[in-house]
Structure 1
């Protein structure tokens, strides 16, 4: 904007009913960085002034129809033209009333016929210089205003960046604290078990390592290591999601077979926790998905149901709706408030319900991101005390 103002030429308007006078005057005032417009009547002059911003108007006083004075009065009565400097051209140099009327109608100067070339050039140069100075002032004001707005925008952006940085630092500290806490529990258990076994070995008490005890030890170690692996996997997936490197490798997959296998694998864990999982397959849906990532989503929804289901039966169903597969996981547990439903799919958010939740609060966030990577989504329908239903909706094929 400042560049446009800086290079604008000064527009000059000359008004005379005689073409030879217009040509002579234009030849005198022609110059660099000037545009000269001609009008042979007051009406034509007014039309030009409504279209253009003029630095100066040079009006012949004695014109048929609308004379120069009448044109000047009309100019002074219009907001768009009242600021244009007016110089009258007249042959009546000796008539004081003539000059008085001219100044009364807004003239800033007079040119007397016959025109003296140097005087005309000098006067016009003054008005052109004033106009260019005014343009330069406007340019500087516009540049200052632009700079001010840029500074305001920069300050706002800096404030946003500072807030985001503080939020990131707080999230990092919270994340590191949660990771340390969640990893410490299985590590402490493993460490204590190792110390007890070492003590038994140092005492030569090999009887403490009978078959049944070894089975319990191995199972306990497996659970602790599985817990740590799950935490590490969540952290890795979070990093991949944040860096945009989460990859999806779709293959031809039968969802019914996948659900049957997952429910079979989870059944011992569910029964140990007092749960029954009911699987209902209405349609044996097949499509193209990433089998590993889809398993990750479904296992998360099922383990989430076992965490908050109050040992009540869990239902998982599958059906097809046009070109989408619908998987629903329903528990009959504590339920989720409407406010919590808005945040449970965010990173590090944990729905406490009536018990303390373990983990980093990444499960549903990662599941939601994986669903979106398949161009699908996860929704929840729940109310406190009435259980929850998580619904996974997936297109049959991933299309970008």
Structure 2
């Protein structure tokens, strides 16, 4: 990688001398005999460092530095002033105000110059390497997200075929063994379908493709439907639904359904047997609707800070099934609504998830 160092001095011999001092295969010295010439070079070249003579006719070094600092393209270019003036404090202060990182006084010491230039060249090289690594990482993440989206989309058809086939098996045979196998097939296909949906949701979230379709929604009716569906799948568990005041507001019904279904489903799965899950929908405040999901399970305190991070399956100690995306998606959907989700857990009250959603 070729690295450019700009040298600005109105004396040709000084330019030649500095070029000779800095000569090495990976450095290109750009020479300018005036501030105007320096600005023209900066329009077409990126430089790791600029060495600027303070005393030049026309545009002096301080004026040039102010112009360099005023451009978005060159604002972060390190500047070292070269001056034959005495080491007056006022001159130094003016130089630092103009954006200088250092001063070198003429006659310039060869070793000092090389040492300072080498530092800034190394910093420039490291910055370029980091930028390149970051770009490669971003491209890799984008490819992974695209892959997950395509994979999730293409898995829908075979999963649908498996689910339909399992249902047909159950209808065509009364054999207990066939019925058991068909039920396991259906349950596995449904679990895989949920994983696919989560992958697609995460791909949309990461690519800023999550668009809400807001409509007037009755939160109570929505929650009753979700509770009936979940209880029918787990008849040995109970959910107690409480509705307070007016719970109508604008929301994306599909996204909100996923949020509530995920939280209540988790509460049923991880709660203490024999203790019903509490689901409260409170519309007592005019500006927001609050949803509280509570069970008697306890989440270890060390896991609480990581609840809403993606791919935490098995890490949170709660479940080794799924991809660990459920609570991450919950938070993203709630955030998209302009709301807030919080969680607390202790032995006395159990685990409580609280959603505050703008009406």
* Correspondences of 1:307-386 after superposition (within 5 Å): 307-311=269-273, 312-320=275-283, 321-333=285-297, 335-350=298-313, 356-383=319-346
Distance 1:212 1:378 in 2: 45
Task: Specify the alignment match of 2:190 in structure 1.
Answer: 226
1:287 aligned partner: 249
CA RMSD between the two structures: 4.6
Q: In structure 2, do the counterparts of structure 1 residues 7 and 213 end up closer, same or farther at CA, with 3 Å as the change threshold? A: same
**Local SS of the residue matching 1:253:** strand
1:270 Cα offset (Å): 3.1
**Paired residues for 1:24-39 under 5 Å:** none
Q: Deviations over 1:207-251 (max 9, x none)?
A: x82398887676554433322211111111121112221221111
> Which of 100, 112, 120 pairs up with 1:146?
120
CA-CA distance at 1:280 after TM superposition = 0.6
Give how far 1:363 is off: 0.7
C-alpha change, 1:375 and 1:135, in structure 2 (3 Å) is farther
Distance 1:353 1:375, change over 3 A: closer
Q: Which has the larger radius of gyration?
A: 1
Structure 1: unaligned runs, 5 residues or longer? 11-31, 36-52, 57-75, 82-130, 198-207
CA-CA distance at 1:286 after TM superposition = 1.5
CA distance in structure 2 between the partners assigned to 1:316 and 1:387 by the alignment: 13
Match 1:6 to one of 44, 47, 52: 52
Query: Distance between the aligned counterparts of 2:195 and 2:185, measured in 1?
Result: 16
Aligned equivalents of 2:131, 2:240: Cα separation in 1: 52
Would you say the 8 A contact 2:281–2:291 is kept in 1?
Answer: yes
How far apart are 1:266 and its partner, in Å?
Answer: 2.1
The reply to whether residue 395 of structure 1 matches residue 342 of structure 2 is: no
Tell which deviates more after alignment, 299-308 or 248-257: 248-257
Conserved 8 A contact 1:289-1:374: yes
Q: 1:359 to 1:9 in 2, by over 3 A?
A: same
Shift of 1:339: 1.5
Shift of 1:148: 2.9
For the residues of structure 2 that align with 1:301 and 1:212, how far apart are their CA atoms? 34
1:174-217 Cα distance to aligned partner (Å, 9 max, x none): x99xx9xxx9xxx9xx79x98xx7xxxxxxxxxx8239888767
The structure 2 residue matched to 1:255, chosen from 210, 219, 227, is 219
Structure 2 unpaired stretches of 5+ = 1-5, 9-34, 36-50, 61-81, 91-103
C-alpha contact (below 8 Å) 2:220/2:243 kept by paired residues: yes
Contact 1:252-1:288 within 8 A present in 2 as well: yes
* SS of the residue 1:275 aligns to: coil
Q: What residue number does 2:263 align with?
A: 301
For the 8 Å contact 2:303–2:316, the answer to whether it is kept is no
Contact 2:288–2:357 under 8 Å retained in 1:
yes
Report the TM-score when normalising by structure 2: 0.58
CA contact (8 A) 1:378 1:391 kept: yes
